[in-house]
Amino acid sequence: MSEAVVHEDHHEHHDHKPTGIGRWLFSTNHKDIGTMYLVFALIMFFIGGAMAMVIRLELFQPGLQYVDPLFFNSMTTMHALVMIFGAVMPAGVGLANWLIPMMIGAPDMALPRLNNMSFWILPFAFALLLGTLFMPGGAPNGGWTMYPPLTIQLGDAFPFLIFAVHFLGISSIMGAINVIATVFNMRAPGMTFMRLPLFVWTWIITAFLLIASMPVLAGAVTMMLTDKFFGTSFFSAAGGGDPVMFQHIFWFFGHPEVYILILPAFGIVSQILPTFSRKPLFGYESMVYATASIAFLSFFVWAHHMFTVGMPLAGELFFMYATMSIAVPTGVKIFNWVATMWRGSLTFETPMLFSLAFVILFSIGGFSGLMLAITPVDFQYHDTYFVVAHFHYVLVTGSVFALYAGVYYWLPKWTGHMYDETLGKWHFWISTISVNVLFFPQHFLGLAGMPRRIPDYAVQFADFNMVSSLGGFVFGVSQLLFVYIVIQCVRGGEKATNQVWEGAHGLEWTLPSPPPFHSFTTPPKVTDATAHS
């Protein structure tokens, strides 16, 4: 991109706000791109959710009623890929786009053109991926972890899967570069690093994780591609390769990926709890260091996903101890949140309710995570529904709940209208109850011996599966309420004030609601008093 083009671009924006389809297609505005990311994530959330409904419908009772096992495997594989890469990650990037410039006192993101590209790659990547559903031989069905040799058996869909993963990787790396470039170069005067809101901090760390781990995934799938079509043998034992090698490389990406999904959620909750407790965040510095150490440790724990492949004792012990040690900084974060609420003046608007549920339910996911870290017991838990319950507690009641909290929290700022609080609370209570009915019994199923990724099961697992499916259907349908609430809020409603929430602090709340097209055209002065409460 040449300098001239950049300048021309800026002029255009200063003059007037573009209209029509062109506004979205060629948008370089952080708010418009943020909105597109969020809408895209919501659409993907419903596509991935529809797949989950198919899974729960088939598992409603023993016997195969609706789909054949191969299609079932496609559903579990695609559900994971769509939810991780299509829903949760883009939603996080959407929030980052909307909020980071407003939080650090910048007019826009540092690299607006890159921002536009990184978004528009996504629909293409997902067209490639979802298109495989209509191919002979079906969509990818070897699990989202794509282990060879099973995934190499995949038919026509194989290259589409690989290239979709490449595109998704490129998109998120570009997004991450943009976040770091923005925060490093565009902070308002006085906005030192230790005055950054925690949401911004968690996103910087997430962005580094993305840049360090996504290329490794791209490398792993490229090796698999050349193994299948160009006669290399990275992962085939016949040519001197090793299928377990793929698992090592995959999880070297995969474990940081887990934190890519959850760290922005930590950031969101760290913004919301102080607001509704009317109290500053407890232990700001230790929050920053805890987040950084979680991210750092995440590169040394990958093999806990593969204890059962058969490692030497020393390896198993190392990865067990390293994994257990992550509980310490995670614990610090949870204790800090609880201490933030302690002796506060609490009110319970929808964002707060989702954040409270996040703290409790994410902790339950953390507890089962600690159990999974214990190697000898993991030999029992591994690849059972106990693991399914664990990561859904962390990702649904963790990441997704935090994203909901964030959307309710900032929606009045974005739209200029208050959402319907009563409906928001309904959405919260129905979701929270049904999500627990959905996932809690899965702990029991796993402990009782039900493996994951099976389309049919022995009759002793029938009762809990039925309960779980019922919870799943209610949870699935109740998310439509969220769409209704958002649309209603965009269209109108009670005018939101600039500060919106009584206890809200931070630069974004000094802007009008909705904020102007360019957030801060003249940088604000930040002092200790105006920084993160």
Partner 1 sequence: MFVKKLKDGVVGAVTMFSLLWAGTVSAEWGLNMTPGVTPISREVYDLHMLILYIVTAIGIIVFGVMFWSIIYHRKSKGAVAKQFHHNTFAEIAWTIIPILILVAMAIPATKTLIKMEQTGDAEITVKITGYQWKWKYDYLEDGLSFYSVLAQDSNEARQVGSSIDPAGVDHYLLDVDEPIVLPVGKKVRLLTTAADVIHAWWVPALGWKRDAIPGFINDNWAVIEEPGTYRGQCAELCGKDHGFMPIVLKAVPEAEYVAWVEEKKAEAAARAASGDKEYSMEELMVNGEDLYNKNCASCHMANGQGVPGVFPSLLESQLTITSEGLAEHIDRIINGKGLMPAFGEQLSDADIAAVVTYERNAWGIDTGDIVQPADIKAAR
Partner 2 sequence: MSEQNVIKTAGKLGVLAVLMFGFGYALIPLYNVFCEITGLNGKTGTVSSQQVEKIVVDMNRVVTIQFDTNINGNLPWRFKSVEKKLRVHPGEVKDAVFVVENTSDRAIVGQAVPSVAPAEASIYFNKTECFCFTQQTLAPGETKEMLVRFVVGNELPDKISTMTLSYTFFMAPEDKQAADRKENTTEQQI
**172: its two tokens:** 């998120």
Q: How many residues does the chain have?
A: 533
470 interacts with partner 2 by CB under 8 A: no
205 interacts with partner 2 by CB under 8 A: no
Taking the mean position of all CA atoms in its chain, how far away is CA 428? 19
Per DSSP, 283 falls in state: T
| Site stretch for partner 1 (CB under 8 A), options 260-268, 354-362, 404-412, 473-481 | 354-362
- Rounded to whole angstroms, the Cα distance separating 208 from 295 reads 9
What residues from 370 to 389 belong to the interface with partner 2 (CB under 8 A)?
none
Among partner 1, partner 2, none, partner that 163 touches (CB below 5 to 8 angstroms by kind): none
In the set 37, 98, 144, 414, the catalytic residue is 144
377 interacts with partner 1 by CB under 8 A: yes
Among partner 2, partner 1, none, partner that 185 touches (CB below 5 to 8 angstroms by kind): partner 2
Q: Which amino acid is at 116?
A: N
Residue pair 86/126 in contact by the 8 Å Cβ criterion: yes
Residue pair 7/92 in contact by the 8 Å Cβ criterion: no
114 by DSSP, 3-state: which?
A: helix
Member of 244, 433, 437, 448 binding partner 2 (CB under 8 A): 244
Taking the mean position of all CA atoms in its chain, how far away is CA 262? 6
307 interacts with partner 2 by CB under 8 A: no
Ramachandran region of residue 89, left (φ > 0), alpha (ψ -120 to 50) or beta? alpha
**Least distance between partner 1 and beta carbon 405 (Å):** 16
Q: Which amino acid is at 111?
A: L
10 interacts with partner 1 by CB under 8 A: no
Among partner 1, partner 2, none, partner that 470 touches (CB below 5 to 8 angstroms by kind): none
Among partner 2, partner 1, none, partner that 214 touches (CB below 5 to 8 angstroms by kind): partner 2
**Nearer residue to partner 2 within complex by CB, 238 or 487:** 238
- Rounded to whole angstroms, the Cα distance separating 152 from 281 reads 49
165 interacts with partner 2 by CB under 8 A: no
**378: its two tokens:** 């993991």
Among partner 1, partner 2, none, partner that 205 touches (CB below 5 to 8 angstroms by kind): none
The yes-or-no answer on residue 305 being catalytic is yes
| Site stretch for partner 1 (CB under 8 A), options 150-158, 193-201, 215-223, 253-261 | 150-158
Per-residue contact string for residues 279-308; x = within reach of partner 1 by CB under 8 A:
xxxxxx-x---------------------x
**Least distance between partner 2 and beta carbon 234 (Å):** 6
Closest CA to 273 of 264, 285, 265, 281: 281
**Least distance between partner 2 and beta carbon 215 (Å):** 4
Cβ of 140: how many Cβ atoms within 10 Å? 26
In the set 58, 227, 257, 349, the catalytic residue is 257
Cβ of 502: how many Cβ atoms within 10 Å? 12
Angle between helical axes of 30-58 and 401-415 (0-180°, round to 10): 140
Member of 6, 12, 69, 495 binding partner 1 (CB under 8 A): 69
Among partner 2, partner 1, none, partner that 181 touches (CB below 5 to 8 angstroms by kind): partner 2
**Nearer residue to partner 1 within complex by CB, 320 or 485:** 320
| Site stretch for partner 2 (CB under 8 A), options 18-26, 53-61, 171-179, 262-270 | 171-179
- Rounded to whole angstroms, the Cα distance separating 18 from 54 reads 41
229 interacts with partner 1 by CB under 8 A: no
451 by DSSP, 3-state: which?
A: strand
512: exposed, middle or buried (Cβ count in 10 Å: 0-12, 13-18, 19+):
exposed
Among partner 2, partner 1, none, partner that 135 touches (CB below 5 to 8 angstroms by kind): partner 1
212 interacts with partner 2 by CB under 8 A: yes
The residues with which 384 forms a beta bridge, in sequence order, are 451
The yes-or-no answer on residue 390 being catalytic is no
- Rounded to whole angstroms, the Cα distance separating 476 from 92 reads 21
The yes-or-no answer on residue 330 being catalytic is yes
Catalytic residues: 79, 108, 144, 171-172, 255, 257, 259, 270, 304-305, 330, 333, 452
